[in-house]
């Protein structure tokens, strides 16, 4: 008679315990990774939003007295002027200094769904520390608050050319 041999109950229980421990470790690592995947999307949207604002701001003149396309350049010292213009009529970098807790859909209505919960504040200051212009450059600082409550700050300079 042939003797057949299978797994004993003890061997089967040990196998189930080993597989369970491996699965628990794998699932914990996976849950940590998937829990943070939204952070990357939020950070990417913050960077994209900052780039949209920088593109708009840097396309404007250095100063109210600067000519079209920067010619003639403004000859005085760096200054921040408040022209009291509406958002649609911003024509120089200084005008953006008034932007505080703006919703991105104010800039472009098509951004309303992608950027709901984001707010943007802009600060423009004179900064002569970079040494490019004798009268100083304007540092544009954009602060973006995302829906999770995190704040991102981006800076760029506009020179008087």
pLDDT (mean) for 141-149: 94
Cα–Cα distance measured from residue 53 to residue 96, given in angstroms and rounded to the nearest whole number: 10
Helix, coil or strand: residue 14: helix
The pLDDT of residue 146: 92
Closest to 40 measured CA to CA, from 117, 146, 118, 155: 146
Sequence-distant (≥ 6) Cβ neighbours of residue 138 within 8 angstroms = 62, 78, 80, 93, 94, 124, 125, 126, 127, 157, 158
Entry pTM: 0.72
| DSSP 8-state class, residue 1 | -
Cα–Cα distance measured from residue 143 to residue 112, given in angstroms and rounded to the nearest whole number: 18
Structure-token pair, residue 26: 């794998």
Cα–Cα distance measured from residue 156 to residue 135, given in angstroms and rounded to the nearest whole number: 17
pLDDT (mean) for 120-142: 83
Mean pLDDT of the chain: 84
pLDDT (mean) for 4-16: 84
Structure-token pair, residue 58: 């840097």
Strands across the sheet with 137-145, in order? 119-127, 137-145, 151-158
């Amino acid at each position: 008679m042939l003797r057949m041999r299978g797994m004993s109950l003890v061997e089967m229980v040990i196998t189930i315990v080993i597989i369970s421990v491996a699965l628990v470790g794998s699932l914990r690592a996976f849950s940590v990774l998937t829990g943070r995947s939204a952070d990357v999307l939020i950070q990417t949207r913050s960077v994209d939003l900052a780039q949209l604002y920088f593109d708009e701001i840097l396309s404007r003149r250095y100063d109210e007295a600067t000519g079209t396309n920067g010619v003639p350049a403004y000859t005085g010292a760096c200054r921040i002027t408040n022209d009291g213009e509406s958002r649609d009529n911003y024509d120089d970098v200084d005008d953006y200094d008034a932007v505080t807790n703006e919703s991105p859909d104010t800039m472009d209505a098509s951004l309303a769904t992608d950027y709901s919960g984001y707010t943007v504040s802009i600060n423009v200051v004179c900064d002569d520390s970079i040494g490019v212009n004798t009268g100083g450059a304007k540092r544009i600082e954009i602060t973006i608050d995302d829906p999770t409550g995190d704040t991102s700050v981006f800076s760029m300079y506009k020179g008087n050319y």
